[in-house]
Amino acid sequence: MKNKINDGHYLELMDRLHVQTCMIDDHLVSHPLTKKIKKARKLIDDAVMSLAEAYQVVGNESYKKSKK
């Protein structure tokens, strides 16, 4: 059974993206080895940026939907 998309799904996904971004920041970006291993730091930073971009995409879709 497929879930039908409703208006609440946009905010829910944005919240989950925010939570994951905060978790990565709290537990990975701030980790002492992340500062030492530059390649790991770049990959982690890229992940944070991807999540932030996804957040913006979902927010934009939500805004467009609300304007219809």
Among 47, 6, 40, residue whose Cα is nearest residue 23: 47
Q: What is the pLDDT of residue 16?
A: 98
Averaged over 18-37, what is the pLDDT?
Answer: 96
Query: Interior CA angle at 49 toward 45 and 55, to 5°?
Result: 145
Q: What is the pLDDT of residue 1?
A: 55
Instruction: Extract the tokens encoding 59.
Output: 């927010």
| Residue 22 resides in a domain | no
| Residue 68 resides in a domain | yes
Instruction: Extract the tokens encoding 46.
Output: 């890229």
| Residue 46 resides in a domain | yes
| Residue 20 resides in a domain | no
| Residue 51 resides in a domain | yes
In the predicted model, is pLDDT for residue 19 greater than 60?
A: yes
Instruction: Extract the tokens encoding 37.
Output: 């291993």
Q: What is the pLDDT of residue 67?
A: 87
pTM of the complete model beyond 0.85? yes
| Residue 14 resides in a domain | no
Q: Which domain holds residue 60?
A: 34-68
- CB count within 10 Å of CB 67 equals 6
| Residue 58 resides in a domain | yes
- Split into its structural domains, the chain has a count of 1
